[in-house]
Amino acid sequence: MQVLWAPWRMAYVADKAARGCIFCIALEGDRRERLLLGTTAASLVILNRFPYQNGHLMVAPRRHTASLTALPEAEHRDLAETLRRSIDTVAATFHPDGFNLGMNLGAAAGAGVVDHLHWHIVPRWAAPRATRRPRRPPEAAGARGSCGLVAAAPPARRRARRAHAGRNGVLQRRETAALARLGESCGSGCSGTSEERGARPAAREHRTRARKEGRPTPRGVERADGVRGHRSSAARGSAAREQRTGPRDFWLFLLERGAYNRRTTRGMGAVVQGSETARTLGELKASGYRVVPVREEMRRNLLARLGRKERILPGIIGYDDTVIPDIENAVLAGHHMVFLGERGQAKSRIIRGLTSLLDPAVPAVEGCPINDSPFDPICRTCRRRLTLEGDTLPIAWIGPDDRYGEKLATPDVSMADLIGEIDPVKVAEGRYLADEETIHYGLVPRTNRGLFAINELPDLTEKVQVGLFNLMEEKDVQIKGYKIRLPLDIIIVASANPEDYTSRGRIITPLKDRFDVQIRTHYPHTLDDEITIMEQETPVLDRGVREVRVPFFIKEIVAQITFEARGSNEINQASGVSVRVTINNYESLLSNAEKRAVRTTEREIVPRITDLPSVLASTAGKIELEYVGEDKKDGDLIDRLINRAILKVWDKYLKVEALKKVTDHFEAGWGVEVSDEMPSHEYLEGIRHIPGLREGVGLLGAFETPALMATATEFVLEGLHLHQKLNKDRSGGRYAYRA
């Protein structure tokens, strides 16, 4: 077993005296603020604000009492049942390998809150072998945390803790965070320290394992923090680490990352809101729950987010001042939206991200294919059941996944796919039209009370466009000549290429009018944003013992190649140059560098200028040339884009005049050979023979390893070549720079 060490709890230990009873306070005021997950007749479930682990819950009776034996029989039973259900929920949500359950009665037993009894539920994960922490030193044994469940701070940490706490009695936030980082939990439950988790490969192995087991991974947390493009990845990392130590993790996973599936949402639904324990219409009515239209629900959730100064759409970079304000306005107004933009501008991702504005769970008639509200069902079966069953009508709590649908439009998409199909034989048998037995509902009705996304809207046939329009406008549709009333509660979000959307005849005018707002997306305005997206979206691969190190100028060149392509009049700009070009080029470059590292048995994977031709394959298929010529042409074009990109980045950091010493040495007869297969140490020869070169490389910053020196050398020389100060000859896979 791992021993839990949760240093962020020190803040709690230090200032708890100043507070009243946390359980009683939790019953008043803002649930979310108080971390209250739910209440039953006699009990409450609350998140631990200073958790030992992700998912650390506490279950307490509503009654403020310290005595377990004095609790009335009914309240005992309620407490036990709530405890059981909470364990089920955490198990379904986080898939822990085990639990610690604990109740500390009295200060001597380690109770933090002495006079209001409560259960702790602490999910636990088995440590992977490589990350198991060493045996505890004997002098640390027996040390206790504040509430008895935590034990054993190693002596060094205890000293640090004492030093911090001793200064003013209360830990500063920064210090708490620093301490927390010492014992940083990896987010999927491993609470070994960074040192003990050892080298990166071990952490990666754990991450892979966590992913395999469907647990939230630390990477997920890092992306959930919603940082902006202008912050460095280092800042992002540390922000994520700080956040990872707080109870907000739990909410981030469940509510914002969408890292839940239908099952966990349903399970969680039992705890998130008190009313969500309702299983029948009668119970729902008793809880006071009110069903609201989806626009109202999204509006309410957006206003709450804005009030908390939280970002919507975390992970979407570069739209803070342009696209996001428009989206917010559209959501507040309850508008149907159409996103216009060229390929690879995160349109689908934005649309999917809007589901984070849906409630984690809403009640629907159990078994209804179109998510009918139990108060006011529209399908015939549900209406009949409501009449027959009344308050005993069973309800199910459905999550955002059940209320989101998307379809890539093609000319093959039919009315049956999107809206529905009727069986004329059954109609002829005299069944009712609005009967599940005669209608097979399509994708749009199945996402009733939610969001439906249609990508590439202009590719829908006119007939289907008319059907869609009727559904949005008239609330009834014609299927095979039968008029069917379908008053759906749905927000339609579409995306389209701007040229297709505006070209005459592609979209029927009434449908175009039905979209209340057009939101224009765009490519990143700055190289920094492009690079941030590139780094965020490039998958972290298992590269064994080898470490990837990419110099800033290589990243800038990759992004600049895409920028050059977007500005080129030889490329069809109406279809655009996707951000995916940048991402895939970066991946190609890393792969080429990795192959070299394997062949030369070097420990570092560092892309070079000579790796750049590898982006040809990942660029060619994603750009459309304006003029179709001989097939050699797109290769030539990409070569030119690469050269222009190198030159632009080079000119930002270097000057030909500053490298006069280098060019002088070349003129004295020296030459340097480079290749994407050459071991890095061979570059050091060249640097030794041409002293000005070392200084030239120094202008770019400190490049301390042979692999980094090699790539910087190539960059300096290639720039001089592109400025026509050096010649470059090719022989086989090798290039020689000479005066």
Work out how close the CB of 100 gets to Zn ion at its nearest, in angstroms, rounded to a whole number: 23
Q: Of 116 and 506, which has the nearer Cβ to Zn ion?
A: 116
Backbone angles phi, psi at 166, to 5 degrees: -70, -30
Q: Of 377 and 420, which has the nearer Cβ to Zn ion?
A: 377
Residue 348's alpha-carbon distances to 331, 345, 358, 525, 533, in angstroms, are 16, 8, 17, 19, 15
Single residue of 14, 21, 105, 616 touching Zn ion by CB under 5 A: 21
SS3 (DSSP) at 413? coil
- Near Zn ion by CB under 5 A, which window of 63-71, 231-239, 441-449, 723-731? 63-71
Q: Of 24 and 91, which has the nearer Cβ to Zn ion?
A: 24
Work out how close the CB of 279 gets to Zn ion at its nearest, in angstroms, rounded to a whole number: 17
- Near Zn ion by CB under 5 A, which window of 64-72, 156-164, 244-252, 418-426? 64-72
Q: Which of 446, 478, 441 is nearest to 463 (CA)?
A: 478
Look at the alpha carbons of 237, 301, 360, 398 in this order and tell me if their dihedral is positive or negative.
negative
Alpha helices per DSSP H over 261-315: 262-272, 281-287, 294-307
Work out how close the CB of 35 gets to Zn ion at its nearest, in angstroms, rounded to a whole number: 15
- Is residue 59 near Zn ion by the rule CB under 5 A? no
Work out how close the CB of 532 gets to Zn ion at its nearest, in angstroms, rounded to a whole number: 45
Q: Of 24 and 92, which has the nearer Cβ to Zn ion?
A: 24
Burial label, 76 (beta-carbon count in 10 A; 0-12, 13-18, 19+): middle
- Is residue 75 near Zn ion by the rule CB under 5 A? no
Single residue of 302, 368, 605, 606 touching Zn ion by CB under 5 A: 368
Work out how close the CB of 283 gets to Zn ion at its nearest, in angstroms, rounded to a whole number: 19
CA distance 290 to 611: 60
Work out how close the CB of 290 gets to Zn ion at its nearest, in angstroms, rounded to a whole number: 19
Q: 407 has which bridge partners? A: 454
Work out how close the CB of 451 gets to Zn ion at its nearest, in angstroms, rounded to a whole number: 19
Residues that bind Zn ion (rule: CB under 5 A) add up to a total of: 10
SS3 (DSSP) at 723? coil
Cβ partners under 8 Å of residue 634, min gap 6? 620, 623, 625
Work out how close the CB of 221 gets to Zn ion at its nearest, in angstroms, rounded to a whole number: 32
Phi-psi region of 81 (alpha: psi -120 to 50; beta: other; left: phi over 0): alpha
- Is residue 291 near Zn ion by the rule CB under 5 A? no
- Near Zn ion by CB under 5 A, which window of 184-192, 267-275, 377-385, 599-607? 377-385
CA distance 4 to 96: 15
CA distance 701 to 429: 82
Q: Which of 199, 242, 209, 206 is nearest to 224 (CA)?
A: 242
- Near Zn ion by CB under 5 A, which window of 235-243, 317-325, 369-377, 666-674? 369-377
- Near Zn ion by CB under 5 A, which window of 59-67, 70-78, 330-338, 580-588? 59-67
Q: What is the DSSP letter of 252?
A: I
Q: Of 114 and 324, which has the nearer Cβ to Zn ion?
A: 114
- Is residue 64 near Zn ion by the rule CB under 5 A? yes
Map the footprint of Zn ion across residues 109-138, applying CB under 5 A.
116
Q: Of 23 and 319, which has the nearer Cβ to Zn ion?
A: 23
- Near Zn ion by CB under 5 A, which window of 56-64, 208-216, 303-311, 448-456? 56-64
Map the footprint of Zn ion across residues 626-655, applying CB under 5 A.
none
Phi-psi region of 334 (alpha: psi -120 to 50; beta: other; left: phi over 0): left
Judging by DSSP bridges, how do beta strands 43-47 and 57-61 pair with one another? antiparallel
- Is residue 413 near Zn ion by the rule CB under 5 A? no
Query: What token pair was written down for 41?
Result: 């007749």
Q: Which of 530, 224, 216 is nearest to 356 (CA)?
A: 224
Q: Of 358 and 368, which has the nearer Cβ to Zn ion?
A: 368
- Is residue 24 near Zn ion by the rule CB under 5 A? yes
- Is residue 372 near Zn ion by the rule CB under 5 A? yes
Q: Of 442 and 686, which has the nearer Cβ to Zn ion?
A: 442
Judging by DSSP bridges, how do beta strands 362-365 and 395-398 pair with one another? antiparallel
Given a contact cutoff of 8 angstroms between Cβ atoms, the answer to whether 92 and 86 are in contact is no
Work out how close the CB of 113 gets to Zn ion at its nearest, in angstroms, rounded to a whole number: 7
Work out how close the CB of 452 gets to Zn ion at its nearest, in angstroms, rounded to a whole number: 17
Query: What token pair was written down for 341?
Result: 């933009």
Number of helical H runs and strand E runs in the chain: 31, 21
- Near Zn ion by CB under 5 A, which window of 382-390, 525-533, 557-565, 610-618? 382-390
Work out how close the CB of 619 gets to Zn ion at its nearest, in angstroms, rounded to a whole number: 50
- Is residue 23 near Zn ion by the rule CB under 5 A? yes
Query: What token pair was written down for 202?
Result: 């071990």
Q: In which element (H, E) is residue 713 found?
A: helix 706-722
Q: Of 318 and 445, which has the nearer Cβ to Zn ion?
A: 445
Q: Of 337 and 393, which has the nearer Cβ to Zn ion?
A: 393
Q: Of 64 and 463, which has the nearer Cβ to Zn ion?
A: 64
Given a contact cutoff of 8 angstroms between Cβ atoms, the answer to whether 577 and 638 are in contact is no
Work out how close the CB of 281 gets to Zn ion at its nearest, in angstroms, rounded to a whole number: 13
Work out how close the CB of 158 gets to Zn ion at its nearest, in angstroms, rounded to a whole number: 31
CA distance 477 to 446: 15
Work out how close the CB of 311 gets to Zn ion at its nearest, in angstroms, rounded to a whole number: 35
- Is residue 382 near Zn ion by the rule CB under 5 A? yes
Work out how close the CB of 397 gets to Zn ion at its nearest, in angstroms, rounded to a whole number: 16
Q: Of 24 and 202, which has the nearer Cβ to Zn ion?
A: 24
Q: Which of 166, 231, 160 is nearest to 193 (CA)?
A: 160
Q: 571 has which bridge partners? A: 625
Map the footprint of Zn ion across residues 576-595, applying CB under 5 A.
none
Given a contact cutoff of 8 angstroms between Cβ atoms, the answer to whether 725 and 663 are in contact is yes
SS3 (DSSP) at 296? helix
Given a contact cutoff of 8 angstroms between Cβ atoms, the answer to whether 223 and 315 are in contact is yes
Q: Of 21 and 625, which has the nearer Cβ to Zn ion?
A: 21
- Near Zn ion by CB under 5 A, which window of 339-347, 364-372, 384-392, 665-673? 364-372
Amino acid at 58: M
Residue 81's Cβ-side half-sphere holds a number of Cα atoms within 13 Å equal to: 13
Q: Of 316 and 364, which has the nearer Cβ to Zn ion?
A: 364
Work out how close the CB of 38 gets to Zn ion at its nearest, in angstroms, rounded to a whole number: 17
- Is residue 386 near Zn ion by the rule CB under 5 A? no
Q: Of 23 and 289, which has the nearer Cβ to Zn ion?
A: 23
- Is residue 449 near Zn ion by the rule CB under 5 A? no
Residue 298's alpha-carbon distances to 292, 334, 575, in angstroms, are 10, 8, 32
Amino acid at 671: G
Q: Which residues of this protein are in contact with Zn ion, per CB under 5 A?
A: 21, 23-24, 64, 116, 368, 372, 377, 379, 382
